[in-house]
Amino acid sequence: MKPNQMRTLGVILSAVLLMLTVACGSSGSKKQEPAGESTPASTTETKTEEGDAVSEPKIVLGFAQVGAESGWRTANTKSIQDSAKEAGIELKFSDAQQKQENQIKAIRSFIQQKVDVIAFSPVVESGWDTVLKEAKDAGIPVILTDRSVDTADTSLYQSFIGSDFVEEGRSAGKWLVDTFKDATEQVNIVELEGTTGSAPANDRKAGFNEIIVQNPNLKVIASQTGDFTRAKGKEVMQSFLKAHKDIDVLYAHNDDMALGAIQAIEAAGLVPGKDIIIISVDGVHDGFVAASEGKINFIVECNPLLGPQLMQAVRDIYEGKEVPKRIVTKEGVFTSEDAKRELPNRQY
């Protein structure tokens, strides 16, 4: 039999089996439950030792992404899509456009579709208990990626894979304390915060503040959200520049806001990286370019390539293996000099 005839036969056999399963009213094991939605697209064709083609059910992962607000997010989405493909996992992907209500809707729809595993990067920290309980009651395991949730009941998720944002804030603060260790006058800092209520905004602020108190000259004179976007970063920096004539340092919770702010600083006739020292977090390509040009003085890396670790955890959970409750991503820090050297090696 030719391979395509074989495939057709496989599909027909699957359909017959499916009808039988439905007719018998079998609810069976977890893998049989979503049978009503099984299509040839959700099976992987493998060959037995004799060379016969057999269809295996594919793991179905529902992923509710935050949005497409930054270069970091674009790299993160690509990593998840590429690794799902590589791992042979069927990905149902939803983009919440930075809105919690959209993420909740997406998670509810994944529950209805009876996906095998749900993963998401919560746009804000609080307000997840109800929908997570719905997933738990439906027997669908949940993995948090990138950002965590604020809940007293940690049984609502299996694992959290992502960076330590408090540590990132501390790294930014340490570099600043060191850079201004000989300052004799007040150093005026403005802060562009990430999305209000999000874990990286809360934690990067907290970690930074925890460290800069070591030097009483370091003072945050203004702090406002730029929602992790370039456009907002530019807009808020413009208003900072209007309100304060003596800004020494900008601390931006991500590269995109720093890049927007750089446009505002240049438009005001100032030199980014010299007249105003700039620190940001992420280390995406455009941030690295700005750092290698001396416009950003210090970048704390936050690795967006979480896809491979996520797919591994999805598979492990599906197969009933134990996964660590917390998986921390490894990352570094870069000065302008480091950025110049490292730029050709960056993957995103």
List interacting residues with ligand GYE (CB under 6 A).
69-70, 72-73, 146-147, 200, 228, 254, 256, 281-282, 302
Which is nearer to ligand GYE, 125 or 282 (by Cβ)?
282
Q: Which is nearer to ligand GYE, 110 or 120 (CB)?
A: 120
CA diameter of the chain = 84
Three-state SS string over the chain comes to CCHHHHHHHHHHHHHHHHHHHHHCCCCCCCCCHHHHHCCHHHEEEEECCCCCEEEEECCEEEEEECCCCCHHHHHHHHHHHHHHHHHCCEEEEEECCCCHHHHHHHHHHHHHCCCCEEEECCCCCCCCHHHHHHHHHCCCCEEEECCCCCCCCHHHCCEEEECCHHHHHHHHHHHHHHHCCCCCCCEEEEEEECCCCCHHHHHHHHHHHHHHCCCCCEEEEEEEECCCCHHHHHHHHHHHHHHCCCCCEEEECCHHHHHHHHHHHHHCCCCECCCEEEEEEECCHHHHHHHHCCCCCEEEECCCCCHHHHHHHHHHHHCCCCCCCEEECCCCEEEHHHHHHHHHHCCC
Question: The tokens 């530019």 sit on which residue?
Answer: 234
Nearest-approach distance from CB 336 to ligand GYE, in angstroms? 20
Instruction: Indicate the burial class of 23 (C-beta count within 10 angstroms; 0-12, 13-18, 19 or more).
Output: exposed
Question: Is the separation of the CB atoms in 72 and 254 below 8 Å?
Answer: yes
Task: Between 38 and 65, name the residue whose CB sits nearer to ligand GYE.
Answer: 65
Distance, CA of 23 to CA of 185 (rounded, Å): 80
CB of 200 to ligand GYE, least distance (A): 4
Q: Tell me the closest approach of the beta carbon of residue 146 to ligand GYE, in angstroms.
A: 5
Nearest distance from residue 162's CB to ligand GYE, in Å? Answer: 7
Our CB check for ligand GYE shows the closer of 116 and 287 to be: 287
Q: Name the minimum Å distance from CB 342 to ligand GYE.
A: 18
| 94: β partners | 64
Rounded to a whole number of angstroms, the minimum distance from the CB of residue 235 to ligand GYE is 16
Strands 333-335 and 298-301, by their bridges, are antiparallel
By beta-carbon proximity to ligand GYE, the closer residue of 173 and 188 is 173
Shortest distance, CB of residue 70 to ligand GYE, whole angstroms?
4
Q: Which is nearer to ligand GYE, 10 or 197 (CB)?
A: 197
- Residue 146 or 248: the one with the smaller Cβ distance to ligand GYE is 146
CA distance 250 to 216: 17
Nearer to ligand GYE by Cβ, of 128 and 180: the residue is 128
Nearer to ligand GYE, 70 or 188 (CB): 70
